[in-house]
């Protein structure tokens, strides 16, 4: 059964050389229940709702299998939140999720897959800048992006909650297919 390995919110805003001058990519796991509202997780911040938030990008999920792949590639442990994700998920391939697929997490929260994450300069700088030259291209080519989700039903979630896939639109493309088409 798929489940949440971790629920992550912003640890602290960090200075960034991007156009906003600050980033909220530094996410860390929290213990206990976290309230999920229309714009995402309580206690989280989206420095740029235009590029990394808003209703259609309220929550970002990343798969544990994908994180393990990058741990091997980069030769270091990558704790939940390292990819800037809100949800570290295990037991499911999040990149094979179809656009419009609906997940129930815990008893009440319902999320809908809306689009793949598009890696950006902020992410490249977070990963290590000059230490990982070509990171955005490398990350994109691996196709291990993870999806953004919109909140269909609010409530609370916590690490360990089961994830039930409530519906999957048959004809919809997967997260990976949409990114490749871009």
Query: In which element (H, E) is residue 174 found?
Result: none
What is the C-alpha separation between 110 and 103, in angstroms, rounded?
A: 6
What is the C-alpha separation between 32 and 48, in angstroms, rounded?
A: 27
What are the b/e assignments for 82-100, b being 16+ CB within 10 Å?
bbbbbbbbbebebbebbbe
CB–CB of 8/43 below 8 Å? no
What is the per-residue pLDDT for 163? 98
Query: In which element (H, E) is residue 93 found?
Result: none
What is the per-residue pLDDT for 57? 94
Length of the chain: 182
What is the per-residue pLDDT for 72? 96
Say which CATH superfamily domain 3-181 falls into: PK beta-barrel domain-like (2.40.33.20)
How many other C-beta atoms lie within 10 A of the C-beta of residue 142?
13
Sheet strands (E) in the chain: 3-10, 14-15, 22-23, 27-29, 34-37, 40-41, 59-63, 87-90, 102-105, 109-116, 147-153, 155-157, 163-167
Nearest C-alpha neighbor of 18 from the set 61, 57, 52: 52
Query: Along the 182 residues of the chain, how does pLDDT read in single tens digits?
Result: 999 999 999 998 777 677 677 777 889 999 999 999 999 999 998 766 666 678 999 999 999 999 999 999 999 999 999 999 999 999 999 999 999 999 999 999 999 999 999 888 788 888 875 456 788 889 999 999 999 999 999 999 999 999 999 999 999 999 999 999 87
């Amino acid at each position: 059964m798929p489940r949440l390995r971790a629920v992550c919110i912003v640890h602290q805003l960090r200075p960034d050389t991007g156009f906003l001058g600050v980033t909220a990519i530094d996410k860390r796991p929290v213990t206990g229940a976290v309230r999920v509202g229309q714009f995402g997780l309580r206690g989280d911040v989206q420095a740029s709702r235009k590029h990394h938030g808003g209703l259609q990008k309220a929550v970002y999920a990343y798969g544990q299998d994908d994180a393990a792949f990058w741990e091997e590639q980069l030769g270091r442990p990558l704790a939940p939140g390292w990819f800037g994700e809100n949800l570290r998920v295990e037991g499911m391939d999040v990149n094979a999720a179809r656009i419009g697929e609906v997940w129930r997490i815990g008893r009440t929260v319902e999320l809908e897959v809306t689009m793949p994450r598009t890696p950006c300069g902020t992410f490249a700088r977070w990963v290590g800048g000059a230490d990982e030259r070509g990171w955005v291209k490398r990350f994109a080519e691996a196709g291990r992006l993870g999806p953004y989700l919109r909140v269909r039903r609010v409530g609370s979630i916590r690490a360990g909650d089961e994830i039930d896939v409530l519906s999957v639109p048959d004809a919809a493309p997967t997260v990976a297919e949409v990114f490749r088409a871009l």
